[in-house]
């Protein structure tokens, strides 16, 4: 009888190789169908023989729930980071560092400071043998089955010596959004979602959250050493560990500050949370010379950004009409200083969103900075209390009083022409650059046309006479003629595209 391990080994290797290529964005080496077939074959073998190789991809889906977390003592301590929150404080840190370097040339390295949960992974003989949370830096909790579900945590590595690697476990914002679309109770925050998933005793829950990880530090390595930060990062990359997508190497203080500004600007466009920038001295012999305080290394500092989330009180919800007649809730919140501006309004997507997030008037809520102009309400802080008022779903249009209809997740006013704000919004869109690009028709002018000349929809716009145009506020002969010419051009364009005005009647 053949040894089951001998049968499984090529299957496991082939599957891991294919996943690696997939998760690191390389050329796919196997179709999904082939992958599934091999995976099923491996699962069946494991079930029949009771043998599961330590790097089997079946670990990725999580195993049996655990009853409790075991304590794990890190071989090398995980240090905290010295923190600064202003450029002035950073400059003070640079001066101190220069003094400690005692005239030696300093090269700084800059990378993202991920906002997730710290992981410490242990490898021996090329196998992931343990994973732990940071804990107090000396001891953490053992979370090997949970860490194995993270696809960007390598289960095997080419390096065969003993190794401890530190990184940050995160949940991508796109993953969080996708998860929340079907989740019974939406997760408010990617950081808490990642931390909660890792610290869940049931690894299948961890697997469902589809976490990711980035690595930045070799804590312990026995059979080799590194001279510099780039050498260490190269080693991490060669062994399949993802590292920060941003790696700056500023030559001067000015360049260092420019790096920080650059990251701060890019921050809202990233698919994960970062809460700052890490600045590290690159030369490892200098690091040794500088040493540690009792809490943190003297050769690194975290430049912390302002929080991307804050809390405030929800004061009111109004319903705003769009050009399609869709009513969207707009949250009015207790003014709060956030990201350098005073926030008074926040987004809630629809009535279902309000129910799922369990928010109410008077409730304390989390708001999160989003790429839109106004932040989004993520959920409530704490449990409902007395004095809160339910947010009522409107039955009639706040603008025209028509009965509202429900379509999917949204509510609509179907009074297309008689509902002033939606008719004006529709015409404003129609003449905008994104659509017909008619110059000379501002929202203000369209409002005047609606109120005084009975212009109700886009087709009516074509009926405007020169006399009517001349009576519009701010319109003289030349401007009025230009407007009529622009409308005529738009009409011709419509016909050439054999596109009736009704095509715009959404
Ligand atoms: Zn209406």
Whether residues 112 and 253 share a domain: the answer is yes
Quote the pLDDT of residue 161.
95
Residue with tokens 């202003």: 86
Distance in Å, CA 418 to ligand 1 centroid: 7
Quote the pLDDT of residue 26.
72
User: Hey, what are 145's tokens?
Assistant: 């089955």
- Asked whether the beta carbons of 155 and 165 are under 8 A apart, the reply is no
In a domain, 179, yes or no: yes
Distance in Å, CA 415 to ligand 1 centroid: 6
Q: What is the CATH number of the domain that holds 446?
A: 1.10.150.20
Q: Which residues of 443-465 are buried (b: 16+ CB within 10 A; e: fewer)?
A: eebbbbbbeebebbbbebbeebe
In a domain, 64, yes or no: no
Whether residues 20 and 151 share a domain: the answer is no
Q: Which residue, 235, 269, 304, sits at the end of a domain?
A: 304
In a domain, 68, yes or no: no
Whether residues 207 and 289 share a domain: the answer is yes
Q: Which residue, 380, 412, 444, sits at the end of a domain?
A: 412
- Of 56, 47, 77, nearest to 10 (Cα)? 56
How far apart are the C-alpha atoms of 88 and 85, rounded to whole Å? 8
Whether residues 345 and 429 share a domain: the answer is no
- Of 404, 441, 446, 397, nearest to 419 (Cα)? 397
In a domain, 73, yes or no: no
Q: Give the pLDDT means over successive 10-residue stretches in the chain (506 positions).
A: 83 87 76 87 90 87 84 94 91 92 90 94 95 94 94 92 96 91 81 89 91 95 92 95 91 90 90 93 93 92 86 95 92 88 90 91 89 82 90 94 92 92 91 83 90 89 90 90 88 59 43
Torsion on CA atoms 151, 153, 156, 162, rounded to nearest 10: -170
Distance in Å, CA 108 to ligand 1 centroid: 59
Distance in Å, CA 135 to ligand 1 centroid: 56
Please compute, for residue 297, the number of CA atoms within 13 A of its CA located in the half-sphere on the CB side.
20
Whether residues 89 and 212 share a domain: the answer is yes
Distance in Å, CA 81 to ligand 1 centroid: 56
For residue 12, the enclosing domain spans: 4-58
The count of domains in the chain is 4
Whether residues 144 and 274 share a domain: the answer is yes
- Asked whether the beta carbons of 421 and 397 are under 8 A apart, the reply is no
In a domain, 319, yes or no: yes
Whether residues 106 and 22 share a domain: the answer is no
Q: What is the CATH number of the domain that holds 341?
A: 2.40.50.140
Q: Which residues are catalytic?
A: 113
Q: Which residue, 360, 393, 412, sits at the end of a domain?
A: 412
Whether residues 192 and 228 share a domain: the answer is yes
Quote the pLDDT of residue 260.
93
User: Hey, what are 408's tokens?
Assistant: 């999917």
- Of 476, 487, 477, nearest to 431 (Cα)? 487
Q: What is the CATH number of the domain that holds 191?
A: 3.30.470.30
Task: Determine if the pTM surpasses 0.95.
Answer: no
At 218-267, the pLDDT tens digits run 999 988 999 999 999 999 999 999 999 889 999 888 899 999 999 998 98
How far apart are the C-alpha atoms of 367 and 380, rounded to whole Å? 9
Tell me how far apart the 2 most distant CA atoms of the chain are, in Å. Answer: 98
Distance in Å, CA 425 to ligand 1 centroid: 12
At 194-230, the pLDDT tens digits run 998 999 899 998 998 999 999 999 999 988 999 999 9
Q: What is the CATH number of the domain that holds 27?
A: 1.10.287.610
Distance in Å, CA 352 to ligand 1 centroid: 21
Whether residues 179 and 295 share a domain: the answer is yes
Whether residues 173 and 289 share a domain: the answer is yes
Whether residues 319 and 452 share a domain: the answer is no
Whether residues 10 and 92 share a domain: the answer is no
Query: E strands along 232-324, which residues?
Result: 247-248, 274-281, 300-304, 309-321
């Amino acid at each position: 009888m053949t040894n089951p391990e001998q049968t499984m080994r090529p299957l496991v290797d082939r599957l891991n190789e294919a996943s690696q290529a997939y998760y690191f964005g390389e050329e796919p080496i196997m179709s999904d169908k082939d992958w599934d077939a091999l995976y099923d074959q491996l699962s069946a073998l494991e079930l029949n023989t009771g043998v599961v190789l330590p790097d089997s991809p079946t670990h990725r889906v999580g195993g049996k729930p655990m009853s409790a977390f075991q304590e794990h003592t890190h071989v090398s301590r995980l240090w905290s980071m010295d923190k600064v929150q202003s450029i002035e404080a950073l400059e003070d840190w640079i001066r101190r560092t220069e003094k400690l370097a005692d005239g030696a040339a300093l090269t700084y390295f800059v990378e993202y400071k991920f906002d997730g949960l710290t992981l410490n992974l242990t490898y021996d003989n090329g196998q992931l043998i343990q994973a732990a949370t940071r804990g107090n830096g000396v001891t953490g909790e053992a979370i090997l089955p949970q860490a194995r579900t993270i696809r960007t945590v390598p289960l095997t590595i080419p390096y065969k010596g003993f190794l401890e690697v530190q990184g940050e476990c995160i949940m991508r914002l796109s993953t969080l959004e996708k998860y929340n679309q079907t989740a019974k109770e939406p997760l408010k925050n990617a950081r808490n979602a990642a931390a909660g998933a890792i610290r869940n005793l049931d690894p299948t829950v961890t697997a469902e959250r589809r976490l990711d990880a980035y690595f930045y530090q070799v804590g312990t390595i026995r059979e080799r050493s590194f001279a510099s930060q780039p050498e260490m990062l190269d080693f991490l990359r060669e062994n399949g560990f993802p590292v920060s997508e941003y790696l700056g190497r500023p030559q001067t203080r000015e360049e260092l500050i420019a790096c920080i500004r650059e990251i701060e600007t890019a921050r809202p466009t990233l698919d994960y949370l970062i809460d700052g920038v890490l600045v590290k001295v690159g030369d490892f012999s200098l690091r040794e010379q500088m040493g540690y305080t009792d809490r943190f290394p003297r050769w690194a500092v975290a430049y912390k950004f302002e929080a991307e989330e804050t809390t405030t009180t929800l004061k009111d919800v109004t319903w705003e009409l769009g050009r399609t007649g869709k009513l969207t809730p707009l949250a009015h919140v207790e003014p709060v200083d956030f990201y350098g501006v005073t926030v008074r309004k926040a987004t809630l997507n629809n009535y279902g969103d309000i129910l799922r997030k369990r928010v109410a008037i008077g409730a304390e809520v989390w708001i999160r900075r989003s790429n839109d102009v106004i932040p989004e309400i993520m959920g409530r802080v704490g449990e409902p209390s007395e004095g809160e008022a339910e947010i009522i779903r409107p039955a009639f249009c706040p603008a025209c009083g028509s009965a509202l209809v429900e379509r999917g997740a949204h509510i609509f006013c179907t009074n297309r022409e008689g509902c002033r704000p939606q008719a004006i919004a529709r015409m404003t869109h129609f003449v905008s650059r994104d659509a017909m690009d008619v110059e000379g028709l501002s929202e203000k002018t369209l409002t005047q046309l609606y109120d005084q000349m009975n212009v109700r929809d886009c087709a009516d716009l074509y009926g405007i006479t020169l006399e009517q145009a001349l009576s519009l506020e701010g319109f003289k002969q030349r401007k009025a003629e230009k407007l009529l010419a622009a409308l005529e051009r738009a009409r011709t364009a419509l016909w050439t595209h054999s596109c009736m005005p009704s095509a715009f009647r959404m």
